[in-house]
Structure formats: structure tokens, C-alpha cells
Structure 1
Amino acid sequence: MHTIRQYIESDLYDVLAAWENANKLAHPFLKEDFVAQVRKDIPALYLPNADTWVIEDDNEKKVVGFIALIGNEVGAIFLQPEHHGKKLGKMMMDIAHQLHGDLELEVFEKNTIGREFYKQYGFTQIDEMEHEASGEHVLRLKYTA
């Protein structure tokens, strides 16, 4: 079983671990200096300004993933890779949808894992642009129920 609950400060280590492991898998194309900056920004900037929910493995008593929301914007959704394919990402996205209705997000074009997940959930592309900080191409997606 898994429990979804709001993030608390003591979750930081597990949230960063989920981000680091999933980030390596989904974003091998990102430059190391950009990734290092994002890692610093997660606890300093992103988590304090987002409505963050974690998913906890009840057997392990450990956070295995999280979703960070700013209004209806999904700023981040990351899950430990060994927990992919278990519908946990869908559970987190369902919570976001229940809280905020229609959802929007940006995904790196080269992130085939994320793009496939969002496609299966029902997101559609509404725009594309360059992500200035990374120099990578991103797609803007929207989910409307």
C-alpha cells in the first residue's frame, strides 16, 4: 500500500533521493552544472513555494516520490525508478487534478519517459519553447478532464 500526504521538512532527504534517481533516468542529456543548481534550488526555492505532496511506501515507511504544484502547474513529479509502472505517478497526478482541475506543465522534449507518462494520462501539447536555463527544448502540455 501507498499513502499520499503533504510534504513535511523531514521528507527532504527522500524527496531529493527520488528526484536525483528519477532525474538521472529521465534527463541524461542535462548538463551537470544545471543539475547541480537545480539540486540546490529544490530545498531553497522550489519546495517552499510549492504545494508538495509525497507518496510513501507503507511497507518501507519511506517516501518514494513527490509532486510539486504551483496552482494548476505541475512543477515537478518524480518517483524512484524501481516504483515506476505501479500506477503511483497516476495516483499523484489524480491528487493534483482533484485539487486544481485542469493541469499544465512543461516537459523536456528529450524526456521520453515523462512524455509517455503524460500522454497516457491524457495531456496534450499546447506550445513549445526553449528552456533558457538548460538550453533544451521543452513542450508545454495541458490536461483537461
Structure 2
Amino acid sequence: MRNFIFILLITLSGCAQTVRLEVDESVERSELASVTTALYVPEYRGSVVLDIDTRGEFVWEYLVPEGEHIFDVKIIMDSNVDGLTISWKEAKIKVKLLAEKGHYYIPKFTVKNNEVFVYFEDKGANYSTDCLPRYNASVRLNGSGSGC
């Protein structure tokens, strides 16, 4: 059920936008790094999202200039639906990203001994945007997307 809800949100949010942080429209996209804003992590029954005030807009990716950036990240895990009750664990942490232009970054987390470790996975400069989490959910629904 949780997977269905997450995939439904991804599919229905086709109007989600890309937002440039700390840079104006005159800078070419190839000169910027792409940071995906959210990822569902099924092994922890949760997700990791960048905690940035978007004024009610749903944002799929942020474009940032090359260099060091600090992001507030929210981790939601161990989500559980029991009848009418929904419960989860939540943590907020600041995470540093050293971005390279043209690279794609995905926030991820692992848990060891009840400690949460958050990091940005660098997918490199030639990463297919079809493999980004926002596309990957709809790709799985359509039965394609090999090579990701």
C-alpha cells in the first residue's frame, strides 16, 4: 500500500518543477549540478527528502552551482499503517554536498546500530534522467527502463 501511494504521488506530480538555487536563468544547465529532492527507500519503509521551503510547490530537483552546499534533509522511516493509525520515525540532519557541474546527485540513507547515515550518491555526468527516482517509478509502472 505504501509503495502504491508513493508511486501514485510521483506519477500525479508531472507538473513538479525544477528549481535553481543560488543561480539565475542565464547559467546553462550543463554548468550546474542536479540534486533530486526525494527518494523512497523500501528496505526501511521510509523516504529521504530535502527539507527546503518551496512555498507549497512540489519540486523534483534543484540545480546548484559547482561547489559546497549544505542541505537540510528529513528522513522518514519505519512507516506503518495499522487500521486508522499511521506511525513513523523521523530525523532531520544537515548534509554537505560537494557538487561537480553536470553531475546528478540522489539523497540516500542507511541505518546501522540505530544511527542514520545520510549521503548524496553521485551518479556522474552521463546519468540518464530516465533513471532518476521521479522517472523510475513511472518507468517501472510501464514495464521499461532497463539499463538503470
TM range (shorter): under 0.3
Structure index of larger Rg = 2
Greater helix share, 1 or 2? 1
TM-score normalised according to structure 2 size: 0.27
TM-score normalised according to structure 1 size: 0.27
